Structure 1
Amino acid sequence: MTSHATGSRDEWLAARLELLQTEKTLTRMSDEAARQRQALPWVRIDKDYRFDTRDGPASLAELFAGRTQLIVYHFMFGPDYRAGCPSCSAIADGFDGIAVHLQNHDVAFAAVSRAPLAHLVAYATRMGWTFPWVSSNGSDFNYDFGVAFTEAQQYEIGIAYNYRQEPAKVRLAANASADPAPAAPSGPEIAAAMTGTDVATYARERPGVSAFALQDGAVHHTYSTFSRGLDDLWGMYKWLDRAPKGRNEPGMWLRRRDEYGVA
């Protein structure tokens, strides 16, 4: 049972008005961050990235589908995954609703993953999704945009993700003895198991969003964000932030929407 302070309506209103000033400051800061995003210099892309789509092979420019702007969600679904990342799946539940509005405001939208297209189509069918989802399998796209990494990067160099360098991981010996009293599974362990992989394989894929512009026939990279930078695009969390107990995440509670209530 949660114990929380109670008070009169007048006390609540006074506290709410104080909070309102904080929220207004946050709104103004958000507006300024958006201005700075749009002021970033554009970087021309000359590499010929190829994707597999439901309509056949496509270039990065062709993903714009006649529009001048493109937003890509880097969906964690690697070639060795048996199912999509549960967190990416949760955020993707909102894509169908927003994609149609973006497409009618000169912004194309697509999710991109390294898994073969057939795996993406099967999973999208399971989840009931219709938004554009393309495969970059065999392409450097995910590697070049900082959301896919090699074993060498993971164990020898260290992964550079979210504009920070992670230390190289220690590779466990194949015959390493198991912990006789293992702790409860961590969030990454649970998420990895839900994708049918081990933690190391799961962690070589990462989530993110990248934006591109098409100008004079050339594609330019304009923006990317990763990790907690995706929070504002994840509608569920913005609702939870306004619930009485907030995100209330003592552990890995998230499941795919067709798995809740399944023992």
Structure 2
Amino acid sequence: MTTTHATGTREEWLVARLKLLAVEKEFTRRGDELVQQRQALPWVRIDKAYRFDTEQGSVSLADLFRGRSQLLVYHFMFGPDYKAGCPSCSSIADGFDGIAVHLANHDVTLTAVSRAPLEKLLAYRQRMGWTFPWASSAGSDFNFDFNISFTEAQQRDGEVEYNYLRGRHAMDATPAPEPVVQFAANCGTDAQTYARDRPGMSAFVLEDGAVYHTYSTYARGVDGIWGMYQWLDRAPKGRNETGVWWKRHDEYARG
């Protein structure tokens, strides 16, 4: 069988690879500049007294740092009416345990935060075999203030402010996009309820007893922490997607 992809000699491949290497090096340099710009953002002091339910009881945002000076929060899509966590967030979270220990030893705490009750989160974490800390923001404005969760009224009126844009987003379309319908059913809820929570991550710093918000990113902004995609982007056929193909890791057929 003959491949449909371009083929060549080792020498031809090396010439093309060296051209690509120059582009990759420039991409890396631009990435370093982007990191510096991200870290140069002004810090915003947080004076609101958020409370979270955790395995250690009710805690403040400062307590989530666990004695460290930096906090990374993954906004995990698990609304109060979900029966299970979002499959996409679950595939991202599969990589947390391996890196959390390294971050913890570099003055950074990594935690997930969701609106579902703590008992739901911990039961799902046990099912997935994870150990990273997970806090419930149930009853708190935290998710709403960081534009990661929305009310039914905001969704109905097209007043959702997500990824720094206010209006009606793709997830709010009627009828709902097929992937949203599919994921909602997979989480045991309907598309509109599912879409009231969105993915993202936020960063915070603790200095002299004060907590500051330093950075948040949403939507495709979480691609960089989605481990499977970083590997697929280097695979021969890339992402090679025609629709939703991934599942929770315990839902694949065992072979």
TM-score normalised by the shorter chain: which range applies? over 0.9
Q: In the alignment, residue 80 of structure 1 is paired with which amino acid?
A: D
* TM-score (ref. length: structure 2): 0.95
Query: Could you say which residue in structure 2 is the equivalent of 1:175?
Result: none
CA distance 1:170–1:22, shift in 2 (3 Å): closer
Residues 201-235 of structure 1 show CA distances to partners (whole Å, capped at 9, x for unaligned) of 11110011100000111000000011111111111
Query: What is the distance in 2 between the residues matched to 1:64 and 1:170?
Result: 37
Q: In the TM superposition, what is the alpha-carbon distance from 1:21 to its structure 2 partner?
A: 1.1
Query: Could you say which residue in structure 1 is the equivalent of 2:188?
Result: 196
Q: In the TM superposition, what is the alpha-carbon distance from 1:157 to its structure 2 partner?
A: 3.5
Q: In the TM superposition, what is the alpha-carbon distance from 1:170 to its structure 2 partner?
A: 7.0
1:83–1:195 contact (8 Å) kept in structure 2: yes
1:67–1:108 contact (8 Å) kept in structure 2: yes
* TM-score (ref. length: structure 1): 0.92
> Equivalent of 2:204, from 205, 208, 212?
212
Asked whether 1:117 is paired with 2:144, we answer no
Query: Could you say which residue in structure 2 is the equivalent of 1:228?
Result: 220
1:155–1:171 contact (8 Å) kept in structure 2: no
Q: In the alignment, residue 64 of structure 1 is paired with which amino acid?
A: F
Could you list the runs of 5+ residues in structure 2 that have no partner in the other structure? none
Asked whether 1:146 is paired with 2:147, we answer yes
Q: In the alignment, residue 8 of structure 2 is paired with which amino acid?
A: G
Asked whether 1:260 is paired with 2:252, we answer yes
Residues 12-43 of structure 1 show CA distances to partners (whole Å, capped at 9, x for unaligned) of 11111111111111101110111011100000
Q: How many residues align?
A: 250
Query: What is the distance in 1 between the residues matched to 2:122 and 2:58?
Result: 15
Query: What is the distance in 1 between the residues matched to 2:158 and 2:236?
Result: 43
Query: Could you say which residue in structure 2 is the equivalent of 1:246?
Result: 238
Q: Secondary structure at the match of 2:168?
A: coil
Task: Provide the alpha-carbon RMSD of the alignment.
Answer: 1.6
Could you list the runs of 5+ residues in structure 1 that have no partner in the other structure? 173-184
Query: What is the distance in 2 between the residues matched to 1:71 and 1:61?
Result: 12
Residues 52-77 of structure 1 show CA distances to partners (whole Å, capped at 9, x for unaligned) of 00111100000111111100000000
Query: What is the distance in 2 between the residues matched to 1:141 and 1:170?
Result: 25
Query: What is the distance in 2 between the residues matched to 1:55 and 1:3?
Result: 57
Q: In the alignment, residue 247 of structure 1 is paired with which amino acid?
A: R
Query: Could you say which residue in structure 2 is the equivalent of 1:12?
Result: 13
Q: Secondary structure at the match of 2:72?
A: strand
Asked whether 1:127 is paired with 2:145, we answer no
Residues 129-153 of structure 1 show CA distances to partners (whole Å, capped at 9, x for unaligned) of 0000010000000000111001111
